[in-house]
């Protein structure tokens, strides 16, 4: 068949239609595939109604997705970027569904956000996706109805820069707020129960394209009943006449308020499941044993109750734990059958101590409760027949505890025969163990560990472990058990609680295993203030508009702007702050950040306390004895409030402050003082009802509160300081000697001697020279040393009228280099030959710099190259190019990795410290030569210390080694 023109057109037409159809079909397919499928938004179960759970089916790995972006809004046609979840495009998402929980505060206004509403990249004009909400409090005010908001501001902003906003300046009782501008804070938003929120998810591929968004979904967060406690453990301790309870909290515990422990008669699990569905029925059938606070799971999870009947009375009893959340919703735990045990089963009481963490800025305390704990972590076979093992161990101790020597006794677990006894005098967490010939490695080992140290470690303090063969790892690994004086303590926990001055509650710090003997507790310095946003105000014309959050929603109010009142939109927050804890009267004193309000608050508290005392005193007449006692207690409480406000020295001092700034500073100091003080207790427990509290930290029957100390000197640096001072003295001595005319011999350094010849060569050839200071910054010693040499090279170049090109890597170094070269030209009387364009900034991108320098070398056909300073991978690239253009090259660096490259490709190389010595060497200035000599002698001193240390360590004398700092 002949392919005539008509047929060709037909074929081409058919091909065109086919390709168009394919492209459209493919595009349709791509479009469908790229949308996140099965996107759902549901309420988070067992929460307080402030959380929603988003879930969706992730796109296929072939789509090369790098992140999923979540968008949220209060209406379906305007969703703002909330957060992105990064995904590895190579591996994709392993699970079938992806989840995102919107149940914590999220940023809704921040200084980093744009001030205007911006559509998301690639969104059409009618698109619904936007970038973050704008940093515009007028806009934020429109969201107040739908979110609870929290302001997070720097302390200095809140305390010193807040402006006072009065709701109604003419009202008899002023309602005042602290106002902060948008750029002084970050506003965080929390979902409100019962409100509707809209969401969508967008996948972003490796080409940074935002794929089409998932269909918008909405949901309403609602408060739910809490999850039940997974387990309650009960113990009947007849000899102590006590019932002991310990329980576990569910994962979601932030909304838990109270607990109740109920006693019931034994029943099948099905009956209990039926009964607990109706709490009222439980209340009628069960006996309340104990109740208390949960504090969102931070309060103690154990309780001791006096027995009301004999142990026999509990034979058929079971117990249940009821958890109650802040909304009054409840959940019951499974039933717990008590264990009948005696006091002997209790773990030993913990004796703990609190010490300041040394050498820190004052933000850590150490709670210790045991001697140092040492255990084997793993063993590694060092040869084929497994007769030589490297044993790695870990030593846990506080910074004030010292361990000097450790003995490891290895025994055969089957026969109990001693295999080896090793003494570890240099504690490097590792040692070698040689097993006897023929010992079956797979039998395992038993290791017994004893140690000496300070404070004195008792001789009978023994730790034991079983090292068992692990076929998977093909090594001896420690079993889970840890024996301390023959008792397995691996399932015993030491739980640390702390209490602040102003609160009666003990709060959980951390649960520690028996492998730890101490806990570092962080006590941070206050740097931020967190306050609920009570409203937002802004000016409109000559009115001040205020959106105030009230009980029944957000109320819009307006009033005339006061003269000099600022117009910028602000968030409104409480101006009241905690001030000080009056320990004598056990009263927390509050104040205001505004002087006038602070005085009013102070006066009002005093007047109210006095009035209350007068009223209560009047009520005493005609009251019976019991009522009088009750009234006296109330009077005492009011008197304490009055005394705290009228007699407390800190309060009086602040009241008499010269200015409000001074007063606020005093308030902050007093606030830090009591909020950073805390007392501790340690509870030792098996987690199943056998717990024992440590004695409280008391002095004269008063709790001792600890506050970390900020240390002025790091004790680990005494040796460093001493050595530095010694070196300083040596330098000063040699400088003085050289000033007095003493001459020192300095060995010749070829690279430096050849500088003149290299410059001369460039002059003779009439070609320029290149001076490269590497990519170090001004803070690098190599760069500073290089500047010294540049000064000399520039002088010679100016004398001989040879062009010197200095391309700079760092823009901070460039003006200094320009100044050095300019000075050099002036110094030799050739200011006319100075061209500042020869000393220029090139780039601070490593390989772009190489490309630039290489280009200059080739174009200008350099006669001499100097590479002096700090160099990395670019060194060889530049010197090889220099070599190829036939330049004489002199290099010098303190970067050990680059020295070999310089040696192979350059004519002369200054190795390490020779670079630093160059300036002194070339100047022949006595003072600089003196420092060189001092360096040499100090090196001799260090070498002597190294040799003595090595010899002493060989004889197990480690004093010198441990004296020197490790880093």
The binder of other proteins chosen from 711, 733, 958, 961 (CB under 8 A) = 711
Residues 434-453 that bind other proteins (CB under 8 A): none
Closer to other proteins at the Cβ: 447 or 842? 842
Closer to other proteins at the Cβ: 212 or 912? 912
Backbone phi, psi, residue 373, to 5°: -115, 130
Percentage helix, strand, coil for the chain under 3-state DSSP, each rounded to 5: 30, 35, 35
For tokens 């006692």, the residue is 629
Q: Is 928 in the site for other proteins (CB under 8 A)?
A: yes
Q: Please state, in angstroms and rounded to a whole number, the distance separating the CA atoms of residues 461 and 401.
A: 15
Q: Is 117 in the site for other proteins (CB under 8 A)?
A: no
Q: Is 832 in the site for other proteins (CB under 8 A)?
A: no
Closer to other proteins at the Cβ: 7 or 361? 361
> Pairing state of beta strands 78-86 and 864-870?
unpaired
DSSP state of 564: T
* Minimum separation from the CB atom of position 859 to other proteins (A): 6
**737: alpha, beta or left? (left if phi > 0; alpha if psi -120 to 50):** alpha
- The closest of 817, 835, 825 to 774, measured between CA atoms, is 817
- Which among 176-184, 270-278, 471-479, 898-906 is the span making contact with other proteins, rule CB under 8 A? 898-906
Q: Please state, in angstroms and rounded to a whole number, the distance separating the CA atoms of residues 424 and 450.
A: 11
* Minimum separation from the CB atom of position 386 to other proteins (A): 19
- Which among 17-25, 241-249, 578-586, 933-941 is the span making contact with other proteins, rule CB under 8 A? 933-941
The binder of other proteins chosen from 18, 505, 721, 948 (CB under 8 A) = 721
* Minimum separation from the CB atom of position 942 to other proteins (A): 7
Q: Is 935 in the site for other proteins (CB under 8 A)?
A: yes
Q: Is 909 in the site for other proteins (CB under 8 A)?
A: no
* H-only helix segments in 710-780: 718-739, 750-753, 755-765
Q: Please state, in angstroms and rounded to a whole number, the distance separating the CA atoms of residues 813 and 779.
A: 10
The binder of other proteins chosen from 286, 755, 798, 915 (CB under 8 A) = 915
Residues 805-824 that bind other proteins (CB under 8 A): 808, 811-812, 814-816, 818-820, 822-824
Closer to other proteins at the Cβ: 445 or 805? 805
* Minimum separation from the CB atom of position 183 to other proteins (A): 15
Q: HSE-up of 206 (CA within 13 Å, CB side)?
A: 9
Q: HSE-up of 620 (CA within 13 Å, CB side)?
A: 14
Residues 678-697 that bind other proteins (CB under 8 A): none
* 8 A C-beta contact, residue 343 and residue 240: yes
* Minimum separation from the CB atom of position 277 to other proteins (A): 52
* 8 A C-beta contact, residue 247 and residue 301: yes
Closer to other proteins at the Cβ: 426 or 728? 728
- Which among 140-148, 420-428, 542-550, 708-716 is the span making contact with other proteins, rule CB under 8 A? 708-716
Strand order in the sheet with 535-540: 163-166, 176-181, 570-573, 535-540, 543-550, 553-560
Closer to other proteins at the Cβ: 942 or 963? 942
For tokens 């009033």, the residue is 559
Closer to other proteins at the Cβ: 100 or 901? 901
Q: Please state, in angstroms and rounded to a whole number, the distance separating the CA atoms of residues 142 and 768.
A: 68
Q: Is 230 in the site for other proteins (CB under 8 A)?
A: no
Q: Is 720 in the site for other proteins (CB under 8 A)?
A: yes
The binder of other proteins chosen from 74, 477, 876, 960 (CB under 8 A) = 876
Reduce the DSSP state of residue 633 to 3 states and report it. Answer: helix
Backbone phi, psi, residue 444, to 5°: 85, -175
Residues 339-368 that bind other proteins (CB under 8 A): 359-363
Binding mask 839-858 for other proteins (x = CB under 8 A): -xxx-xxxxx-xx-------
Neighbours of 859 (CB within 10 A): 9
Closer to other proteins at the Cβ: 483 or 840? 840
Closer to other proteins at the Cβ: 574 or 923? 923
Closer to other proteins at the Cβ: 445 or 917? 917
Q: Is 735 in the site for other proteins (CB under 8 A)?
A: yes
Residues 773-812 that bind other proteins (CB under 8 A): 778, 781, 784-785, 787-788, 790-791, 808, 811-812
Find residue 518's DSSP bridge partners. 368
The binder of other proteins chosen from 900, 948, 950, 964 (CB under 8 A) = 900
Closer to other proteins at the Cβ: 614 or 721? 721
265-to-230, 308, 318, 337, 582 alpha-carbon distances in Å: 20, 15, 6, 10, 49
- The closest of 74, 91, 73 to 82, measured between CA atoms, is 73
The binder of other proteins chosen from 550, 712, 745, 954 (CB under 8 A) = 712
Q: Is 174 in the site for other proteins (CB under 8 A)?
A: no
Q: Is 200 in the site for other proteins (CB under 8 A)?
A: no
831-to-709, 825, 840 alpha-carbon distances in Å: 59, 5, 18
Q: Is 528 in the site for other proteins (CB under 8 A)?
A: no
Q: Is 939 in the site for other proteins (CB under 8 A)?
A: yes
Q: Please state, in angstroms and rounded to a whole number, the distance separating the CA atoms of residues 23 and 30.
A: 10
Residues 357-416 that bind other proteins (CB under 8 A): 359-363
- Which among 201-209, 218-226, 384-392, 575-583 is the span making contact with other proteins, rule CB under 8 A? 201-209
- Which among 138-146, 163-171, 407-415, 914-922 is the span making contact with other proteins, rule CB under 8 A? 914-922
The binder of other proteins chosen from 896, 924, 954, 955 (CB under 8 A) = 896
Q: Please state, in angstroms and rounded to a whole number, the distance separating the CA atoms of residues 291 and 733.
A: 77
130-to-56, 192, 210, 776 alpha-carbon distances in Å: 21, 22, 12, 43
# binding residues, other proteins (CB under 8 A): 87
Q: Please state, in angstroms and rounded to a whole number, the distance separating the CA atoms of residues 777 and 310.
A: 80
Q: Is 831 in the site for other proteins (CB under 8 A)?
A: no
Q: Please state, in angstroms and rounded to a whole number, the distance separating the CA atoms of residues 743 and 229.
A: 84
* Torsion, CA 919, CA 922, CA 927, CA 932, rounded to 10: 70
> H or E element: which one contains 895?
none
Q: Is 919 in the site for other proteins (CB under 8 A)?
A: yes
Strand order in the sheet with 52-57: 37-43, 52-57, 98-102
Binding mask 121-150 for other proteins (x = CB under 8 A): x-----------------------------
- Which among 318-326, 337-345, 612-620, 910-918 is the span making contact with other proteins, rule CB under 8 A? 910-918
Q: Please state, in angstroms and rounded to a whole number, the distance separating the CA atoms of residues 223 and 870.
A: 62
* Minimum separation from the CB atom of position 13 to other proteins (A): 38
The binder of other proteins chosen from 903, 945, 947, 957 (CB under 8 A) = 903
- Which among 68-76, 449-457, 595-603, 833-841 is the span making contact with other proteins, rule CB under 8 A? 833-841
Closer to other proteins at the Cβ: 25 or 721? 721
- The closest of 511, 413, 398, 519 to 464, measured between CA atoms, is 413
Q: Is 877 in the site for other proteins (CB under 8 A)?
A: yes
Closer to other proteins at the Cβ: 58 or 892? 892
* Minimum separation from the CB atom of position 826 to other proteins (A): 8
Residues 6+ apart with CB under 8 A from 609: 638, 639, 641, 642, 645
Backbone phi, psi, residue 419, to 5°: -100, -45
* Torsion, CA 602, CA 606, CA 612, CA 615, rounded to 10: -140
């Amino acid at each position: 068949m002949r392919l005539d023109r008509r047929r060709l057109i037909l074929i081409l037409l058919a091909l065109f239609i086919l390709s168009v159809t394919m492209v459209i079909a493919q595009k349709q397919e791509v479009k469908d595939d790229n949308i996140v499928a099965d996107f759902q938004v549901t309420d988070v179960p067992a929460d307080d109604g402030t959380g929603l759970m988003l879930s969706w089916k992730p796109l296929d790995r072939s789509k090369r997705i790098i992140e999923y972006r979540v968008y949220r809004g209060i209406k379906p046609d305007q969703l703002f970027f909330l957060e992105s979840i990064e995904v590895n495009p190579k591996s994709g998402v392993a699970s079938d569904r992806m989840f995102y929980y919107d149940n914590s505060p999220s940023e809704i206004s921040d200084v980093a956000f744009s001030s205007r509403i911006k559509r998301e990249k690639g969104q059409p004009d009618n698109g619904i996706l936007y970038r973050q909400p704008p940093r515009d409090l007028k806009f934020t005010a429109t969201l107040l109805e739908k979110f609870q908001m929290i302001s997070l501001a720097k302390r200095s902003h809140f305390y010193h820069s807040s402006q006072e906003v009065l709701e109604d300046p003419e009202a008899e009782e002023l309602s005042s707020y602290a106002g902060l501008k948008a750029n002084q804070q970050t506003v965080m938003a929390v979902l409100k129960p019962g409100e509707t929120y809209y969401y969508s998810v967008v996948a972003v591929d490796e080409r940074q394209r935002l794929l089409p968004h998932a269909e918008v979904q909405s949901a309403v967060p609602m408060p739910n009943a809490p999850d039940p406690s997974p387990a309650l453990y009960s113990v009947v301790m007849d000899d102590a006449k006590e019932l002991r309870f310990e329980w576990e909290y569910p994962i979601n515990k932030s909304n838990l308020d109270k607990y109740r422990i109920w006693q019931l008669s034994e029943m099948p699990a099905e009956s209990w499941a039926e009964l607990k569905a109706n709490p009222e029925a439980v209340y009628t059938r069960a006996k309340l044993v104990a109740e208390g606070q949960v504090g969102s799971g931070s309060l103690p999870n154990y309780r001791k109750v006096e027995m009301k009947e004999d142990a026999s009375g509990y034979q058929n009893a079971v117990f249940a734990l009821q958890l109650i959340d802040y909304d009054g919703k409840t959940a019951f735990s499974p039933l717990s059958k008590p264990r009948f045990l005696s006091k002997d089963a209790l773990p030993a009481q913990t004796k703990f101590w609190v010490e300041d963490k040394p050498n820190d800025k004052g933000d850590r305390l150490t709670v210790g409760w045991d001697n140092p704990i040492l255990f084997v972590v793993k063993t590694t076979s060092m040869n084929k027949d497994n007769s030589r093992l490297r044993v790695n161990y870990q030593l846990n101790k506080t910074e004030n505890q010292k361990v000097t020597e450790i003995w490891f006794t290895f025994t055969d677990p089957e026969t109990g025969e001693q295999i080896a006894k090793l003494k570890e005098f240099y504690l490097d967490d590792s040692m070698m163990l040689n097993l006897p010939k023929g010992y079956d490695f797979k039998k395992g080992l038993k290791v017994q560990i004893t140690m000496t140290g300070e404070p004195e470690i008792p001789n009978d303090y023994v730790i034991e472990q079983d090292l068992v063969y692990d076929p998977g790892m093909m090594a001896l690994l420690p079993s889970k058990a840890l024996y301390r004086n023959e008792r397995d303590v691996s399932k015993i926990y030491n739980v640390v609680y702390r209490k602040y001055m102003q609160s009666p509650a003990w709060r959980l710090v951390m649960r520690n295993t028996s492998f730890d003997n101490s806990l570092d507790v962080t006590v941070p310095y206050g740097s931020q203030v967190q306050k609920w946003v009570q409203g937002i105000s802004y000016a409109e014309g000559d009115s001040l508009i205020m959106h105030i959050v009230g009980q029944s929603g957000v109320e819009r109010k307006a009033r005339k702007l006061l003269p000099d009142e600022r117009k910028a939109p602000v968030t409104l927050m409480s101006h009241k702050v905690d001030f000080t804890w009056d320990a004598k009267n056990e009263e927390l004193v509050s104040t205001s950040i505004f002087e006038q309000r602070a005085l009013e608050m102070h006066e009002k508290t005093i007047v109210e306390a006095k009035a209350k005392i007068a009223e209560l005193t009047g009520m005493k007449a005609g009251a019976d004895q019991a009522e009088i006692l009750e009234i006296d207690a109330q009077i005492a409480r009011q008197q304490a409030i009055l005394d705290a406000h009228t007699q407390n020295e800190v309060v009086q001092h602040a009241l008499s402050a010269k200015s409000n700034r001074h007063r606020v500073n005093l308030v902050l100091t007093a606030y830090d003082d009591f909020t950073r003080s805390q007392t501790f207790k340690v509870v030792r427990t098996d987690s199943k009802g056998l717990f024992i509290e440590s004695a409280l930290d008391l002095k004269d029957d008063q709790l001792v509160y600890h506050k970390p100390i900020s240390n002025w000197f790091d004790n680990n640096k005494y040796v460093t300081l001493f050595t530095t001072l010694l070196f300083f003295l040596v330098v000063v001595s040699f400088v003085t000697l050289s000033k007095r005319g003493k001459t020192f011999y300095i060995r010749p350094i070829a690279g430096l001697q050849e500088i003149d010849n290299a410059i001369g060569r460039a002059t003779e050839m009439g070609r320029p020279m290149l001076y490269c200071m590497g990519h170090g910054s001004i803070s690098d010693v190599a760069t500073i040393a290089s500047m010294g040499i540049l000064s000399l090279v520039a002088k010679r170049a100016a004398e001989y009228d040879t062009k010197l090109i200095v391309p700079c890597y760092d823009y901070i170094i460039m003006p200094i280099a320009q100044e050095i070269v300019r000075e050099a030209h002036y110094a030799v009387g050739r200011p006319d030959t100075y061209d500042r364009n020869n000393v220029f900034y090139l780039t601070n991108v490593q390989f772009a710099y190489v490309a630039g320098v290489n280009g200059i070398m080739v174009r200008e056909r350099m006669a001499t190259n100097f590479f002096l300073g700090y160099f990395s991978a670019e060194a060889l690239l530049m010197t090889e190019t220099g070599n190829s253009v036939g330049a004489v090259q002199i290099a010098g660096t303190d970067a050990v990795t680059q020295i070999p490259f310089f040696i192979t490709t350059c004519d002369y190389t200054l190795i390490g410290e020779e670079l630093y010595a160059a300036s002194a060497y070339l100047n022949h200035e006595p003072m600089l030569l003196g420092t060189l000599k001092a360096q040499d002698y100090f090196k001799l001193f260090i070498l002597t210390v190294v040799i003595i240390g090595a010899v002493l360590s060989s004889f197990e004398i480690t004093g010198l080694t441990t004296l020197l700092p490790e880093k």
